[in-house]
Amino acid sequence: MKDKLIVSPAPHLHDKTTIPNVMWSVVIALIPALIASVYYWGFRALYLTLLGAAAAVITEALIQKLRKVPIAVADGSAFLTGMLLSYNIHAGAPWWLPVMGAVFAIAVGKQVFGGLGNNPVNPALLGRAFLLASWPTLMTGGWVKTKLGSINGITNLNMIHENLQGIAPKAYDLVTSATPLKVAQTLRDSTFVNSLTSEAGINIDISNKIMNSLLDMGTLKTLFWGNIGGCIGEVSVFALLLGAAYLLWKNIIEWRIPFFYIATVFVLSFLFGGIKGSGYSLSMPFFHIFAGGLMLGAFFMATDYTTSPLSKNGRIIYAIGCGLLTVVIRLVGGYPEGVSYSILFMNVMTPLIDKMTMPKAFGRLKK
């Protein structure tokens, strides 16, 4: 027998899950979405993603060197942040945009607070907010069409073309540009809708027509597969669900946050999502959960460990808050998309939620 045996406190077994294992698993889970975006936009999507990830890794390594702490970029957390940041940028953006965003995300969003586990908000989302504030036009304009030709997902364009061409140029512009959420947002703007009708000169409800085509099965299918304008990582609901299923199966994320987030958006957009005059439609909630960054946000960003609540009830409150804010921003606010800001806001609320939702020990009576 050797002279020195290991003496350590129980438990003497450990689950395989370690920090690198968690982080790299999330990276793996994000790969289907990357494949989808390369399919829709070509290799530029991959190139921008890798730039963001590389910038994040290098920034983290440099700062860790300066802080004289162990360089821990191999744990995958910086790579993941960079990747998620790039996922919030569209494929038509200049190359330096993801780089700037990633540097900011790591430096200001993470390392300033002491690194992994200490950041108050999701670094990737903070990076995105920084880009949106600094280069709003680059971030929200210049959406590129997918290779398959769609931009806002409306599939029966021809029908609309026939109806609208020459009658209402504004309506025509609307259905040939922007992202699906932008279309939905514009359609809720009554001044715009009134001007459409007056421009058309005839009494047809053009806005309703566009809304209906936005909500038809064809468009919803297109949204599901991801053949639409949008950010690199958010377009394909299908690819994101594949990755999410992997994370749920590997027990890396827990179901509560994504479920309550998406469910809240679903219910609220069913109740309040229509435009004036159009009744309830079951397609509306599907449109809202498939369009924009909800899937990416609900499964991959809101579930960020450090910035979401510890207790199970806390996670439910947090997720409902995210959903509520997302719908409010989308339907009432000035932005077509509300996922990032709602998650950032709820990140800030997390310590408070944690305090309010201390779980009751098994067998302890209610006070």
CB of 20 to another protein, least distance (A): 9
Structure tokens at 215: 């909500």
Question: Residues touching another protein: how many (CB under 8 A)?
Answer: 41
SS3 90: strand
Interface residue with another protein among 19, 35, 107, 108 (CB under 8 A) is: 19
Residue 352 contacts another protein per CB under 8 A: no
Which region among 47-55, 99-107, 158-166, 355-363 touches another protein (by CB under 8 A)?
355-363
Please tell me the distance from the alpha carbon of residue 93 to that of residue 344, in angstroms, as a whole number.
23
Residue 21 contacts another protein per CB under 8 A: yes
Place of tokens 């540097």: 103
Instruction: Measure Cα distances from 318 to 153, 310, 342, 355 in Å.
Output: 31, 10, 10, 13
**x/- map, 287-306, another protein, by CB under 8 A:** ------------------xx
CB of 251 to another protein, least distance (A): 8
Q: Do 106 and 119 touch, CB atoms closer than 8 A?
A: no
Residue 96 contacts another protein per CB under 8 A: no
CB of 107 to another protein, least distance (A): 18
Q: Do 361 and 340 touch, CB atoms closer than 8 A?
A: no
SS3 46: helix
DSSP label of 73: G
Interhelix angle 180-188/169-176, nearest 10 degrees: 150
Residue 68 contacts another protein per CB under 8 A: no
Place of tokens 């899937």: 295
How many C-alpha atoms does 313 have within 13 Å on its Cβ side?
Answer: 9
Interface residue with another protein among 66, 133, 282, 361 (CB under 8 A) is: 361
CB of 75 to another protein, least distance (A): 8
Q: What is the DSSP string of 284-314?
A: HHHHHHHSTTHHHIIIIITT-STTS-SSHHH
CB of 286 to another protein, least distance (A): 30
DSSP label of 231: B
Tell which positions 249-268 bind another protein, by CB under 8 A. Answer: 254
SS3 18: coil
Residue 362 contacts another protein per CB under 8 A: yes
Which region among 11-19, 200-208, 212-220, 277-285 touches another protein (by CB under 8 A)?
11-19
Which of residues 7 and 66 has its CB atom nearest to another protein in the complex? 7
Residue 110 contacts another protein per CB under 8 A: no
| Phi–psi pair at 179, nearest 5 degrees | -100, 165
Residue 10 contacts another protein per CB under 8 A: yes
Residue 162 contacts another protein per CB under 8 A: no
Which region among 1-9, 78-86, 170-178, 183-191 touches another protein (by CB under 8 A)?
1-9
Interface residue with another protein among 65, 94, 117, 173 (CB under 8 A) is: 117
- CA angle 243-244-248, nearest 5°? 120
**Contacts to another protein by CB under 8 A:** 1-2, 5-15, 17-19, 21-22, 114-118, 254, 305-312, 315, 358-365
